[in-house]
Amino acid sequence: MDDFIAERRRQIAFDMLQHANLVFQCVLVATIVAIALAVLINRVKALEPVANAVSAVGLTLPSFALVGLLLPLSGLGTTTAFLCVVFYAVLPVLRNAVVGLAGVDQTLLESARGMGMGPVGVLLKVQIPLAWPVILAGVRTSMQMSMGIAAIAAYVLGPGLGAYIWTGLVQTGGANALNYAVVGTVGIVIVALVADLLLLALGRLTISKGVRVA
């Protein structure tokens, strides 16, 4: 194993960065989309059951099935991997964002409006900051889930560490089959842990002490 890693250390490091880059970009896009949808759902309450149903069904959809649906549209490569990861990444953030925005005290919203804040000001200065701890919890869940989903990207020639796992499976019984599988799996775990630590640090920086205590 040591020799295997030593011979490929630069490529492994590069693939870890590629895996992290894919997931971070997907989760960022997913968070923006999810918050926008949550704001709409918060305004139109009739959409909430629909959003919950879509989230529930989406999480039960096998990633291979989604890849199969996307392949005729976007083909092999990074685009299909990106779309697949974004789809799954949206769901936990959307669920938490809907709950977080709905949980903001209406008295605080009325006070903000009474101070002359418009709808955008209330959203950006009151609702999202107060809902942010709940939203960030969804982002953390989304990030961890996306690390695993991104491994499927190797099936469509996407970037990242999934290629090591697939190579190990294809070469089952071969000399380096186990090495490939272990490097891919452990590499994803390491990237996931680092990402979670970064999100914890982000929470410390972006969540006020008053909100954290509450």
What confidence tens digit (pLDDT) does each residue in 131-189 have? 999 999 999 999 999 999 999 878 888 888 999 998 898 888 778 889 999 999 999 99
Write down the pLDDT at residue 58.
86
In this prediction, residues 90-111 reach a mean pLDDT of: 92
Q: By the 8 A CB rule, do 57 and 102 touch?
A: no
What confidence tens digit (pLDDT) does each residue in 9-57 have? 999 999 999 999 999 999 999 999 999 999 999 999 889 888 888 888 8
pTM for the model: 0.91
In this prediction, residues 114-119 reach a mean pLDDT of: 87
For the chain, give percent helix, strand, coil, nearest 5.
85, 0, 15
Write down the pLDDT at residue 211.
64
Tell me how far apart the alpha carbons of residues 161 and 165 are, in angstroms, rounded to a whole number. 7
Q: By the 8 A CB rule, do 37 and 51 touch?
A: yes
3-class SS of residue 114: helix
213 falls in which pLDDT band (50, 70, 90)? very low
Tell me how far apart the alpha carbons of residues 125 and 147 are, in angstroms, rounded to a whole number. 32
100 phi/psi in degrees, rounded to 5: -65, -45
18 phi/psi in degrees, rounded to 5: -65, -40
Tell me how far apart the alpha carbons of residues 72 and 116 are, in angstroms, rounded to a whole number. 51
The CA-atom distances, in angstroms, between 212 and each of 52, 114, 151 are 27, 26, 34
Write down the pLDDT at residue 173.
77
Better-predicted residue by pLDDT, 113 or 29: 29
In this prediction, residues 75-81 reach a mean pLDDT of: 88
